[in-house]
Structure 1
Amino acid sequence: MNAIRELHGIAEFEQVMALFEDIWHFEPAGRPITAELMLAMAHAGNYVAGAFDGERLVGASVAFFGADATLHSHITGVLGSPGTGFALKLHQRQWALERGVRRITWTFDPLVRRNAHFNLAKLGARPEEYLPAFYGVMDDAINQGDEADRVLAVWPISDRRVEALVSGARSPVPVPPDAVVALAGDGGRPVPGRADAATVLVAVPEDVERLRRTDPGTAKAWRHAVRETLGDMLAEGRRITGFHDKSYYVVERA
């Protein structure tokens, strides 16, 4: 089990920056945070924590307070340490609960399957808003010049369903037999379908990060298809209630 603790000194924040650079390979002008900003945030009482395998930093997370008793998780990165991401979220949750925080929010790329499954199925967060090109075009090694659409995830950390999930319970979202597929994959490309049922499924590509490297045209087609399908449904007031079969968002009428 990795040790997770809050960070305080500039040398520790420089370690965090080195870890983040190893993960994303940011362009100098594209760094989402700096060691100096982490120092200021931690000193002001915000959340900056690291996960250690012995003396080696293997994960880190930075979050700041928002309005209405919310903690916004700005960036979390883990390198080569299975289970550390989940452990960091549990640490962040406990830290927030001890300070009277009712919910944690963060943004994630809706095209990345493993993140959608982790956020929705393992943590119990729920996407509430689709944010087209939220960070503009990102040129780091992972995003490869893609338009940075994001979904705002809201994690009600004291909710009974969340408590059960983080304790190890698993409760897949049921998909009724009359559900329809609004976006599917055919030969690796997005194919629009129907969206006229109470429950709708929206697919995402198997590995969008690989697509960005090997077939950027198809990656862009998925970006626009998910934006037009999932984004439009959220704008209409529908709710994402789960992630089915590690492949599809489950969207229901409110």
Structure 2
Amino acid sequence: MIAIRELHEIAEFEQASGLFDEIWHFDPESRPISVELMRAMSHAGNYVAGAFDDAGRLVGASVGFFGAGNTLHSHITGAVSGHGTGLQLKLHQRRWALERGIERITWTYDPLVRRNAHFNLAKLGARPVEYLPSFYGVMVDAINQGGDSDRVLASWPLSAPHVAALVRGEPCRRPLPADAEVVLADEDGRPVAFHSDAPTLLVALPEDIETMRVTDPGAAKAWRLAVREVLGGLLVEGGAVTAFHDKAFYVVERPSLGTASSSDRV
């Protein structure tokens, strides 16, 4: 059983900071948030919450702050594997926001990580709305391995029908259009891009980018640049990411081009 509540005491913020370090192994000079800042944000009425197991051990924490346009921006959320703590934290965050009249939560995530994309899009119903190249500069924690910190901005419309259905435990799966075409494929671990005029496009992700960063940094870099160009380019052109298919592909609906589809290697 997981209990989630807001944090208010210095000792709790220290626990949260320790948990974040345990998950990401941050360099001491590059922690994304300090104990002091969590204290100040909590005191100012922002979202700082922790998840505790039956033994009272902190197993998840999340920090968010109020943003422009009546939004809550979720700055960092981390949880120990198991228990479904990450999902429970996000649902708690949603309830907290709705109680304060907030209708949208945003956050950034690495678009290359399949499990994050699946969680954000398929489990929560959030949608990537902007591609942000090297958003945090070079990151030196153990997960990011000193690579470019490209992120997408995810937007979670808290009262949208598809989000409400997911919260009720009702998966919202739309069939993939028969004319959908792949514009970025995984061929033997390497990204291969294609040109297509199809209205629905599929953008692949590598199976395990975090391991690849250690075992094949060159391939990891190639994926970063390919996804930046293809997914980032489609978002700039007005494309809308509508799903994450088969736990491997972003589904992007592009503005109608009024032409027949075609596909060839580029």
Q: What TM-score do you get using the length of structure 2 for normalisation?
A: 0.94
Alpha-carbon offset, residue 194 of structure 1: 2.5
Aligned match of 1:241: 242
1:173 aligns with 2:174: yes
Equivalents in 1 of 2:252, 2:88: separation in Å?
Answer: 28
The answer to whether the Cα contact below 8 Å between 1:244 and 1:250 also exists between their aligned partners in 2 is yes
Contact persistence 1:185–1:203 (CA under 8 A)? yes
Q: What CA distance in whole angstroms lies between the structure 1 residues aligned with 2:214 and 2:83?
A: 24
* Distance (whole Å) between structure 2 residues aligned to residue 117 and residue 144 of structure 1: 22
Contact 2:162 2:172 in 1 (8 A): no
* Whole-Å separation in 2 of the counterparts to 1:148 and 1:2: 32
Structure 2 residue matching 1:120: 3-state secondary structure: helix
The aligned residue for residue 14 of structure 1 is: 14
Write the distance in 2 (CA, Å) between the matches of 1:178 and 1:160: 26
Matched, 1:76 2:83: no
Matches of 1:253 and 1:202, distance apart in 2: 12
Three-state SS of the structure 2 residue aligned to 1:80 is coil
Greater shift after overlay, 171-180 or 58-67?
Answer: 171-180
Distance of 1:246 and 1:120 partners within structure 2? 10
Return the alpha-carbon distance in structure 2 between the equivalents of residues 91 and 21 of structure 1. Answer: 23
Query: 1:42 matched to which residue of 2?
Result: 42
Match of 1:155, SS state, is strand
Q: Tell me, yes or no, if the aligned pair for 2:105 and 2:155 is still in contact at 8 Å.
A: yes
Q: Is the 8 A contact 1:69 1:102 kept in 2?
A: yes
Q: Where do residues 48-59 of structure 1 align in structure 2 (5 Å cutoff)? A: 48-53=48-53, 54-59=55-60
Letter in 1 for 2:91: L
Shift of 1:175: 1.2
**Amino-acid identity (%):** 69
What residue in structure 2 maps to residue 194 of structure 1? 195
Larger radius of gyration: 2
Provide the C-alpha distance between the structure 2 equivalents of 1:239 and 1:48, rounded to a whole number of angstroms.
31
Matches within 5 A, 1:1-254: 1-53=1-53, 54-254=55-255
Contact persistence 2:165–2:172 (CA under 8 A): no
The CA RMSD measured in Å over matched residues stands at 0.8
User: How far 1:27 moved relative to its partner?
Assistant: 0.7
Q: Residue 193 of structure 1: SS of its match in structure 2? A: strand
Corresponding letter in the other structure for 1:62: V
| SS of residue in 1 equivalent to 2:166 | helix
Which stretch of the first structure deviates more once superposed, 203-212 or 76-85? 76-85
Query: Following the alignment from structure 1 to structure 2, what is the Cα–Cα distance between the partners of residues 240 and 32?
Result: 28
Match of 2:260 in 1: none
What corresponds to 2:262 in structure 1?
A: none
Displacement of 1:174: 2.2
State the alpha-carbon separation in 2 of the partners of residues 143 and 210 from structure 1: 10
Any idea what SS the aligned residue of 1:147 has?
coil
Shift of 1:179: 0.8
- Code of the residue aligned with 1:148 in structure 2: it is S
Shift of 1:67: 1.0
Deviations 1:72-105 (Å, cap 9, x if unpaired)?
A: 0000001133300000000000000000001000
Moved >3 Å (runs of 4+): none
Given that residues 132 and 227 in structure 1 are in contact (C-alpha distance below 8 angstroms), is that contact kept between their aligned partners in structure 2?
Answer: yes
Structure 1 counterpart of 2:114, which letter?
R
Distance in structure 2 (CA, Å) of the matches to 1:171 and 1:100: 25
Whether the 8 Å contact between 1:6 and 1:50 is mirrored in structure 2 is yes
